[in-house]
Structure 1
Amino acid sequence: MQVYKGLDIITNKVTAEERAQCAHHMLDFVDPLVRTYTVVDFRNKALDRNKLPIVVGGTNYYIESLLWKVLLDTGVSEFM
């Protein structure tokens, strides 16, 4: 939920002061009214720099998408 713009209070986002102390990524970049955002989008953006992401908090669904690629629906059947 912290990826969504404007949901600071309900998602308990870090403050501007806390963000100034160290780099935070993937906060406030999705408009909740215009764009649909999926776990596949999250995984792709988290891994697109070829660096190990450090994830603090969040739901298991999104964390597991980083750990086990098999959990994602790629649209290609492995049984063909």
Structure 2
Amino acid sequence: MKKSAYQQMGDEVKILINEAKVRNNLNDEGLAKKIGMPLPTLRNRKCNPGRFRMDDIWLIEQLAGRPLRGETSQ
């Protein structure tokens, strides 16, 4: 079964987060500090990527060194 555009974008956010962590040698705690977010909030939003705000995504993009891929072509 094909994923919805919403699910695909959620997967892209998760990939972006992992890339930011790897590129900057961070764990969840370090990433949360870098973007100014409480650790429990980061963990909650990682499970529900649609809850990230645009300013949070922008900061994560800066750490990952690339923009969020928005392609949801089917």
Regarding TM over 0.5, the answer is no
TM-score by length of 2: 0.30
TM-score (norm 1): 0.29
More helix by share: 2
Higher relative contact order (CA 8 A, sep 6+): 2
